Chains A and B, each alone.
Chain A
Amino acid sequence: MFKKRLWRALAATLSAVFVVTLSASLLAFTSESDINQRLGTVSYKIINADEDADTEYFKRKTNNLDEYMAQKLDVIERTTDEGIVLVKNDGVLPLKTEKKVSLFGIGSRRLVYNTSSGNAEIGNSGVDSVNMTLKKGMENSGFEVAPSLWNYYSGLSGNQANNTSSSVGQALPNGDAQADIAAYGEAAIVVLTRNTGEGGDAAETYYRVTDNERAVINLAKSGSSKVILVSNSPSPLELDEFERDAAVNAILVVGGVGARGANSIGKILRGTVNPSGRLADIYAADSQSSAAFQNYKTQIFGNAESSQGGGRTSYFFSAPAGSDGITGANAYYVTQKEGIYLGFKYYETRYEDSVMGVGNAGSAKGVYKSQGGGWKYADEVTYGFGYGQSYTAFTQEITSFSVQNSVVNMSVKVKNTGSVAGKEVVQLYAQSPYTAYDKTNKVEKSAVQLVNFGKTRTLAAGAEQTLDLKMDLYNIASYDYTNAKTWVLDDGMYYFAVGNGAHDALNNILAKKGKTAANGMTGNGDAALVKEWNNGTFTKLDTPEFTDEGFTTENGLYHNNTDQKVANVLESADLNNLLGAGTVTYLSRNDWDATWPVRDAQINASAEMIKRLTFDGVYTPGSADTSGIKHDSGSAYQLSMMMGLPYDHDLWDDLLDQMSIEELINSINKNFGAIDPIFSLAFPGTNDNDGVGSGPVGNYLPKFNTAATPFEGVGKYSDVNARMYPSQSMEAQTFNQELMYEIGECLSEDSYYVGFVSLWGPGLNLHRTPHSGRNPEYFSEDAQLTYIVGAQMTAGLQSNGVIACPKHFAFNDAEDQRYGYAPFINEQAARETSLRGFEGAVSVAKAKNVMNALNRIGCDWVGASDPVQNTILRGEWGFDGYVLTDNALQPFQCGRGVAFGTDKWMLLPGNDRNSEFNKAALLGDARLFESVREANHRILYVYVNSAAMNGVSKDATVVYSTPWWKSTLIAADVVFGVIAVGCVAMFVVSNLIKSKGRA
């Protein structure tokens, strides 16, 4: 009896294990390329007829990881050396002789290295030898850190150890830790931390300092007369009270610090590095006071359906039964009523208007911190965009200026007039005239906009350097969406000014106009730092032309020239066009009071809007006769033959004709971050993945391990995650274009060691408010800054065979409801803000891959928006790469988007688009078939000219090769299956024996 039960137990157990193992194996086999990426294996073997041929078309620049890691850490540390911004210093810094210091706040023990979640989270979490602690960074600069205080914070757990919650600093040191404060009181460094990540925006009060934090700061003050505040937050914390607090002697603004930022903090405090960072966002006195914040949260369409589940309510629209629409479309929307007045553009423009006494700028609308009734810049803003201090002093002198051939040129001589060596940033700003034409035609103009910038080398005391800045006038033009319906340059007076940030430059412009502090300015500007250009002719720029006389990347790339005439294509993204004029009031400097944004009232989507939201009737199939579209025609061609050939070469058709329908579908409808090998084309496939936010999401490949121990406690490089970079917001604060390019080159080299060909990033969305969850992964609130640094980083990243994939294109400026929410915006704001941020990376740096966004533009998923992906991205900007979706988890990211410019879907196992991408569907719809074929064309064109072809000669054969993990799984399946069958058989036999025994 026992034996029978034993066999039954074994049979049941092993049958169950066999079936589950088989399921897991089948799952793994559908994601073979993704698993290969994780394990560093491949499913192919390249057989080159000529084994001596040099097939390393793109080579690593370093010999091994030891050499590379030293360079990488050096780049990372120089980034934080130059990205940390000194915003306040009453002379206490640098700490030249002080030794014994106390570190306060849980953030001092647990720095914010990068985002709090998602792909840009710092790698090697908790490994102090990789991610340097602040204590180590301070000690490296000769400081002695209060040990008991350090141990106190190290011993905290639970909520008290959370460096991103609003209870930061809740615990106050006691006992020995308190005694340390006085003993190590030569200086007190208080670290305040905030952090956000993918998937959700910050709470509305998140960037307000808490009473608990004030208590910690007060404790620091009690122990030392030198209190330095470190704002370790990738988004602006409210610092106004500390700017005004004489007992807080200095403030450093630090984003996500990356692996070596702690060292930079130590060096800056000691003075061995002179801070040279500049703010990439404005620091308002109240984090809720921006124009964008007034309506930044999504609203729900009033006529949406709803369902309850899991304790939450979902809002959606349903497509009619029998239609080709998609039910479940997210029913959230937001109207970007601030228009172009994002970030500093709001504050500075309203400031100028208040000085000039126009536009009701002094209205009480929008007052958060202003004293005395009306709006006052000095009360509402703590630190302006582009602001930063130094330990030395510089003068700037404009030595030449010209506007010719549609390019503005300015040379600025910088002199270090102080006693300490340092780097200086020259920032060039412009003001366009706000004319009667603009007011009539609703063309909004920011009072000041960033044009370009440069950074000197380290200048010794007394040394000089002249920087030459140039920028295309196209970047200063405004988009007239109501009348000219294209880019325009008004006739009138333009001002070009330099200054320590946007506000300083604007003050210089106001000085040029004859205004002084007596007119309400925050200070007397310097008219000598301004040049004027009188544009005599109103100009339309519907076919702008670019040359290398304008803005170029470090490696000489400039904006593409195309034949596409620029005209309105986003009118359907404006609710005033969908629901009637007056539905939305956009903020206008013509009347700040009357147009001040308010929270969206709940509106009902019209029937037409619902059709678009549900993709109902949006896609029109092509002819059912697809006999003219070739496939499976022979095997004469292979991909390597296409190296170096232009996109429109005739040979591409022959190559694509050769592909089977299954191969065509497989390339676009499978895998998360890889493309399977296409054996018929001798293409080995690719590995692609995140990211640029903190670095490639992966460990270094085992084949690159060296004999050295890379870090203390980490035995080999394959145990090291490549995500070590500081946050993108910190990188932007360097205001150093050469360094941005160098970071890109570093990321490119990283990709070789991690095994990626396309690296997803940089993130080029904007900081619409401080609360946007992925701000650490994006550079700035300013589109022009993003344009410039995005171009430089992308150019560096693509300089050696690796592909950049800027993301998330476009309008993904918030995280809440990111899957499918509908941002409505007017076309001027769309082009001058969100789209401009991407334009540099795509059109100047020629990014070969772009990741589209999860959200919509108006009612249309961006991935199914012909105007955005085809007209603007490809037509106007000349993009010749391929478009990849973000994680395509939701049905609205439908396969039919291939007909609107999306080329590949990012798919987790089981999340395919098989219902749309299948043989029968392609053979029955010429539009779908041609679109899928074209998508393959774009994908292969990108990879044939990349490091993906390393190892593949012109006469290579690529054959399938089973990776070890697959063999292991198959073996396990067979073994479990055989044993299970055996156990079942033995159970049957034992039953028979028992029956015979009874008989």
Chain B
Amino acid sequence: MTKIKEFLAKKGVGFYIMLGAVLFAFMGVIAYSVSESSATGRGVSPLIVVMLVLAIVAGLAFCWKDFLGFGPIVLSILLSIALGAFIYTKFNDFTYVYYGVGTDGQDAKLSAALLSSTIFFAVMWLAAIASAFVKSEKTGANKEAKK
């Protein structure tokens, strides 16, 4: 517990934002997989799942130690690929909801699933970018560590 406190004491706002991005990526991959695996889903895109998993792994690694400060950059790129693929594969669903035409009366289902997935993906992407703007380690923390 003490070690965790010490660990967190060194972390800046960027750490928490990056951690948030990882969390939303985790929620996103679950929501996406469940939604697309259902009978009326379209099936998961392997690219999206792989990118999200890589982002989660990389994100956790960079949260533990922000190697040369590349964390936000790597996270942004991985999550952007996932988001881009999401937009690409779900475009027809966006259009469908936009035009307000329902399939077998399931507007609500489609909209709810699409909305929740979109929110997760958008938040994780924005969080990854935002984490690049702020410190992930408190100033002096590294110097302290090296003493």
Contact = CB atoms under 8 A, between A and B. Distances in A.
12 contacts: A5-B132, A8-B132, A12-B76, A16-B129, A20-B80, A23-B84, A200-B107, A307-B40, A312-B108, A887-B101, A889-B96, A909-B91
Interface string B88-114: 111110011001111111111111110
Contacts of B85: 23
Nearest to B99: A118
Interface string A958-999: 000000000000000000000000001001000100000000
A646 interface: no
A910 B48 CA distance: 14
B38 interface: yes
A833 to B, nearest CB: 23
Interface string A4-33: 110011011101111110111011000000
A984 B70 CA distance: 9
B135 interface: yes
A559 B87 CA distance: 48
Given A5-B135, A16-B77, A200-B102, 17 more contacts: A5-B133, A9-B132, A15-B73, A15-B80, A18-B80, A19-B81, A20-B83, A24-B87, A27-B88, A118-B100, A118-B101, A199-B101, A314-B109, A328-B40, A819-B103, A889-B96, A907-B92
B80 A16 contact: yes
Contacts of B76: 12-13, 15-16
Contacts of A1: 139
A17 B128 CA distance: 12
A22 B77 CA distance: 12
A4 B113 contact: no
Interface residues of B, number: 51
B1 interface: no
A26 B91 CA distance: 12
B68 interface: yes
A12 B132 contact: yes
Most chain A CB within a 10 A radius of its CB, from B38, B69, B75: B69
Nearest to B78: A19
B15 interface: no
B56 interface: no
Contact of B103 (A16, A17, A23, A889): A889
Most chain B CB within a 10 A radius of its CB, from A19, A200, A307: A19
Interface in A179-217: 197-200
A536 B63 CA distance: 93
A291 to B, nearest CB: 24
Contacts of B84: 19-20, 22-24
Contact of B38 (A4, A5, A314, A889): A314
A12 to B, nearest CB: 3
Contacts of A628: none
Interface residues of A, number: 57
B105 A816 contact: yes
A991 B105 contact: no
A311 interface: yes
- In the A-B complex, list the 4 residue pairs whose CB atoms are closest, starting with the nearest: A23-B84, A908-B92, A12-B132, A19-B80
A12 B81 contact: no
A311 B39 contact: no
A19 B84 CA distance: 7
A305 interface: yes
A327 B92 contact: no
Given A311-B109, A328-B39, A889 B92 contact: yes
B39 A316 contact: yes
A12 B127 CA distance: 11
Interface string A808-827: 00000001111111000000
A910 B102 contact: no
Nearest to A988: B68
A332 interface: yes
Contact of A310 (B100, B103, B112): B112
B125 interface: yes
Given A307-B39, A310-B112, A991 B69 contact: yes
Contacts of B106: 310, 312, 314
Given A816-B105, A987-B73, A309 B40 contact: yes
A908 B91 contact: yes
Nearest to B134: A5
Most chain B CB within a 10 A radius of its CB, from A310, A327, A818: A310
Contacts of B128: 12, 16
A909 B99 CA distance: 15
Given A8-B72, A20-B83, A984-B73, A117 B129 contact: no
Contacts of A419: none
B35 interface: yes
B22 interface: no
Interface in A329-376: 330, 332
Given A12-B76, A316-B40, A911-B92, A816 B83 contact: no
Contacts of A312: 106, 108-109
Contacts of A820: 104
A819 B73 contact: no
Interface in B30-76: 34-35, 38-40, 68-70, 72-73, 75-76
B19 interface: no
A15 B110 contact: no
B79 interface: yes
Contacts of B135: 5
A815 B107 CA distance: 13
A907 B109 CA distance: 21
Contacts of A890: 103
Contacts of B112: 310-311
A29 to B, nearest CB: 11
A20 B87 CA distance: 9
A541 to B, nearest CB: 38
Nearest to B102: A199
Contact of B68 (A198, A305, A908, A991): A991
B27 to A, nearest CB: 16
Interface in A683-741: none
Most chain A CB within a 10 A radius of its CB, from B80, B91, B103, B104: B104
B42 to A, nearest CB: 8
Given A23-B85, A200-B102, A314-B106, A15 B91 contact: no
A981 to B, nearest CB: 11
A318 B39 CA distance: 9
A908 B83 CA distance: 19
B88 A26 contact: yes
Contacts of B129: 12-13, 16
Contacts of A199: 100-103, 105, 107
B62 to A, nearest CB: 12
Contacts of A197: 100
Contacts of A332: 104
A318 B90 CA distance: 23
Contacts of A4: 69
B9 to A, nearest CB: 20
Interface in B128-146: 128-129, 131-135, 139
Interface in A882-908: 887, 889-890, 907-908
Given A23-B85, A310-B108, A8 B73 contact: yes
A569 B59 CA distance: 62
A26 B88 CA distance: 8
B104 A309 contact: no
Nearest to B109: A310
A969 to B, nearest CB: 13
A22 B40 CA distance: 29
A310 B84 CA distance: 24
Contacts of A19: 77, 80-81, 83-84
A309 B100 contact: no
Nearest to B69: A8
Contacts of A200: 102, 105, 107
A909 B39 contact: no
B30 to A, nearest CB: 13
A85 to B, nearest CB: 30
B132 A909 contact: no
